Amino acid sequence: MVHRRLLQLAGAVPGAILALAGLGAVLSALHIGFAITAGGVIATLVRGEGDPLPGLAALAAIALVRGTLTGVREPVATRFGAGVRIRLRRRLLARLGAVPVAERDSGQAAATVIDGVDGLDAYYTRYLPQLVVVLVVPAVVVGLVWTRSTAAGVALAIATAVAVLAPRAWDLRLLRNGRRRWERFTRLSSDYVEALQQIPLLRAFGATDRTAARLAADADQLRGSTMAQLRLSLVETFVSGMAVHVGTILAVVAALSAVVSGDTRAAGAVTVLLLARECFRPVQDLGTTWHAGYLGLTAVDGLDQLLSRRPAVVEDGTRAAPATTGSVVVDAVTYHHPGTSTGLHGLTLRVEPGETLAIIGPSGSGKSTLARLLEREIDPDAGGVRIDDVDLRDLTRRARSRSVVVVPQDPTLFAWTVRDNLRLYRPDATDAEIERVCEIADVRHVIRALPDGYDTVLAENGEQLSGGQRQRLAIARALLSPAPVLVLDEVTSALDPATERRVVDALALAAPARTTLLIAHRESACVHADRWIALRGGRLAAAGDGPPSARVLLSGGTP
């Protein structure tokens, strides 16, 4: 199961693969040495001539070394495996930014980075090294047998070729059909888990009988089609099994005939008996790592998604000084979301330092695209975005993170302590500073009610908090940032009116010098705006002074 993508990525971890293949080869060499020595000793015993003791001592020594290396292989592979996971994840996560946001949420990227990389670990530390061993060791064994009896060598060579190649033909079929079947199997499993999780819902809608019947029918259908495919593929088990058994028998018999006719010494026949097994041992071991190879294969699609795309932004800015005053210029910016008609078309905009600008408009008018351009999650197709007259593309990532901070509508919180979450934009913030921003975002009492206050470790994405509480934590977090430009993308949408009012008022008082861009569709969110603009279809549709009136908001700024 060798795939172009998997080999390409193997370049990232060549050391681990070669080291483990080397270890496997040494182990095979010890097995071969044991077989040859034992053959000599047994022949000595049978013939009753010569001293078997030196041979016995050698066997004991080989057995101990081999035992030790066998014991060491597993922990070594595991240690290398951790290194492989670390390197691959760093590499893949760095490419994540290239995946369009909508696809990133679909879970495939997460599946690739989590389960996919676990599968690749098995692929690179178990399957590939063993594959290398299979390519080398049986050929050596065949050569050793050949020197003792040509006929035995020929028999073994043919048998080995069949035993090694027959499963590869099956791998080819698997490449074509197996992935789809695996997908169906995992999908059926996740449907089953979902049905169990949603039993209360299914009961409330009287749907448990139907669901049980559907799951059973799906399972039966999958079993039927799987067995139909296996009918052919399992023939491989028969072919390679027969090659191993009949090949060994014929090789030994050929050696015995040679002994009978006097062409070969007796010890040679015993050695061939023991060596034949060593010829097939790596092949059989490859069979036990087969699942690891399969896991690698299942990750291919996810890897394609991450590695085949061009990154949306290339970080090559060199200016390390962050903006200080916070003037924002959007200069004739055009951006098309790939595959859609939405985006921005030649938008020009200027926001003075300390000004609060409300940006309104219907869904798809380009508001959130503007936010993504301002934090350089995407780069404009044409035109430029400048802060303090410096193009965002010229800033280093660190300088940019200190120039502009964006709070998205559906912010992500991390499974860290509340304090660490709040310090995202300023890791050295003091407790007093943290308290102050939590006061502004009206979230202090929420944190106090948590079991360990600021030291509470949040669940994944802060799932124990409501949408509104998450939004307020995200606002507090952004307020700790030293950036002079703050972009708020409908950040109070999940708050009740009274809380929203408190937060909006506190925000206006807390940071009068900060340039604020407020994306909103409710009047209550932009009562303190100095100016407003309305977007429609990615273009400026209207603008006005002061906060937008209810009438303006309702009509989307068009008269």
Partner 1 sequence: MRAVLRLLPVIASRRGLFVETVAWSVVNQAAVLTIALGLAFAVGRVVASEPLDLRVTTAALCALGVLAAAAAWRESWVSHDLAYRLIGVLRGRVFDSLRRALPARTRHRRTGDLITTVVGDIETLEWLYAHTAAQTLSAVLVLAVGGMVSVSLSPLLLLVWVPLLAIGVATPLVTARRARRDSAALAAGAATIRSELLDTVRGLRELTGADALDAQLDRITADTRAHARTQVREAARLGGERAVADVALAGAALGAIGIVLLGRDAIGPADIPLAITVAVAGLGPAAQIADLLRNAGTLRAAAERIADVLAAAPAVRPAAVGEALAGGEAAAVADKSGLVLDDVTFAYDSGRPVLDRFSLHVRPGQVVALTGPSGAGKTTAARLALRLWDPDQGSIRIDGTDLRELPDAELRALVAVVPQASPLLRGTIRTNITLGDPDATATMIDHAARAAGLLDPASGLPLGLETPVGEHGTGLSGGQRARVAIARALLREPRVLVLDEPTASLDPDADTAVMDFLARATDRATLLIAHRPDTVAAAHARIALHTTAGRHT
Using CB atoms within 10 Å of the CB of residue 506, give its burial: 0 to 12 exposed, 13 to 18 middle, 19+ buried.
Answer: middle
Q: Which of 200, 262, 338, 559 binds partner 1 (CB under 8 A)?
A: 200
Under a CB-based contact definition with an 8 Å cutoff, are residues 418 and 447 in contact? Answer: yes
Q: Which of 12, 175, 219, 450 binds partner 1 (CB under 8 A)?
A: 219
Which segments of 337-480 are extended strands (E)? 343-351, 356-360, 382-387, 390-391, 404-407
Using CB atoms within 10 Å of the CB of residue 150, give its burial: 0 to 12 exposed, 13 to 18 middle, 19+ buried.
Answer: middle
C-beta closer to partner 1: residue 256 or 418: 256
Q: Which of 3, 5, 33, 52 binds partner 1 (CB under 8 A)?
A: 52
Under a CB-based contact definition with an 8 Å cutoff, are residues 501 and 441 in contact? Answer: no
Quick one: which segment of 12-20, 174-182, 196-204, 547-555 binds partner 1 (CB under 8 A)? 196-204
Write the CA distances from 214 to 186, 222, 225, 275, integer angstroms: 16, 12, 16, 54
What is the C-alpha to C-alpha distance for residues 356 and 348, in angstroms, rounded to an integer? 17
> Considering the complex, what minimum distance in angstroms separates the CB of residue 4 from partner 1?
25
461 makes contact with partner 1 (CB under 8 A): yes
551 makes contact with partner 1 (CB under 8 A): no
**For residue 400, how far is the Cα from the chain centroid?**
27
311 makes contact with partner 1 (CB under 8 A): no
**For residue 46, how far is the Cα from the chain centroid?**
59
529 makes contact with partner 1 (CB under 8 A): no
**Residues contacting partner 1: total by CB under 8 A:** 132
C-beta closer to partner 1: residue 105 or 381: 105
What is the C-alpha to C-alpha distance for residues 185 and 2, in angstroms, rounded to an integer? 22
514 makes contact with partner 1 (CB under 8 A): no
197 makes contact with partner 1 (CB under 8 A): yes
Under a CB-based contact definition with an 8 Å cutoff, are residues 416 and 458 in contact? Answer: yes
Q: Which of 7, 64, 165, 449 binds partner 1 (CB under 8 A)?
A: 64
Q: Which of 248, 305, 368, 492 binds partner 1 (CB under 8 A)?
A: 248
Q: Which of 4, 11, 74, 339 binds partner 1 (CB under 8 A)?
A: 74
Write the CA distances from 528 to 252, 498, 503, integer angstroms: 93, 16, 12
**For residue 430, how far is the Cα from the chain centroid?**
35
252 makes contact with partner 1 (CB under 8 A): yes
Q: Which long-range contacts (CB under 8 A, 24 or more apart) does 538-543 make?
A: 538/342, 538/343, 538/344, 538/345, 538/347, 538/365, 538/366, 538/369, 539/344, 539/345, 539/346, 539/347, 539/366, 540/347, 540/348, 540/349, 541/361, 541/365
522 makes contact with partner 1 (CB under 8 A): yes
> Considering the complex, what minimum distance in angstroms separates the CB of residue 348 from partner 1?
24
> Considering the complex, what minimum distance in angstroms separates the CB of residue 414 from partner 1?
5
C-beta closer to partner 1: residue 42 or 142: 42
What is the C-alpha to C-alpha distance for residues 76 and 74, in angstroms, rounded to an integer? 5
DSSP string, 37-82: HHHHHHHHHHHT-S--HHHHHHHHHHHHHHHHHHHHHHHHHHHHHH
Q: Which of 5, 29, 50, 97 binds partner 1 (CB under 8 A)?
A: 97
C-beta closer to partner 1: residue 248 or 327: 248
Which segments of 291-374 are extended strands (E)? 328-336, 343-351, 356-360
Quick one: which segment of 149-157, 347-355, 400-408, 537-545 binds partner 1 (CB under 8 A)? 400-408
> Considering the complex, what minimum distance in angstroms separates the CB of residue 167 from partner 1?
13
- What is the pairing mode between strands 515-519 and 485-489? parallel
Which of 37, 31, 36 is closest to 57 using CA atoms? 37
106 makes contact with partner 1 (CB under 8 A): yes
What is the C-alpha to C-alpha distance for residues 135 and 31, in angstroms, rounded to an integer? 17
Write the CA distances from 299 to 350, 423, 441, integer angstroms: 46, 35, 43
Q: Which of 285, 375, 388, 500 binds partner 1 (CB under 8 A)?
A: 375
165 makes contact with partner 1 (CB under 8 A): no
Quick one: which segment of 76-84, 344-352, 385-393, 549-557 binds partner 1 (CB under 8 A)? 76-84
550 makes contact with partner 1 (CB under 8 A): no
Under a CB-based contact definition with an 8 Å cutoff, are residues 257 and 18 in contact? Answer: no
For 82, other C-beta atoms within 10 Å of its C-beta total 12
Q: Which residues within the stretch 25-44 sit at the binding site for partner 1 (CB under 8 A)?
A: 34, 38, 41-43
> Considering the complex, what minimum distance in angstroms separates the CB of residue 461 from partner 1?
6
> Considering the complex, what minimum distance in angstroms separates the CB of residue 241 from partner 1?
3
79 makes contact with partner 1 (CB under 8 A): yes
9 makes contact with partner 1 (CB under 8 A): no
3-class SS of residue 112:
helix
169 makes contact with partner 1 (CB under 8 A): no
Under a CB-based contact definition with an 8 Å cutoff, are residues 531 and 544 in contact? Answer: yes
C-beta closer to partner 1: residue 104 or 531: 104
Quick one: which segment of 8-16, 174-182, 228-236, 534-542 binds partner 1 (CB under 8 A)? 228-236
Quick one: which segment of 136-144, 167-175, 268-276, 386-394 binds partner 1 (CB under 8 A)? 268-276
Q: Which of 230, 320, 321, 554 binds partner 1 (CB under 8 A)?
A: 230
309 makes contact with partner 1 (CB under 8 A): no
Q: Which of 129, 343, 361, 411 binds partner 1 (CB under 8 A)?
A: 411
Q: Which of 22, 54, 67, 346 binds partner 1 (CB under 8 A)?
A: 67
C-beta closer to partner 1: residue 204 or 543: 204
Amino acid of residue 70? T
Which of 495, 450, 501, 456 is closest to 474 using CA atoms? 495
71 makes contact with partner 1 (CB under 8 A): yes
For the chain, the C-alpha Rg in angstroms (whole number) is: 34
C-beta closer to partner 1: residue 3 or 97: 97
C-beta closer to partner 1: residue 497 or 512: 497
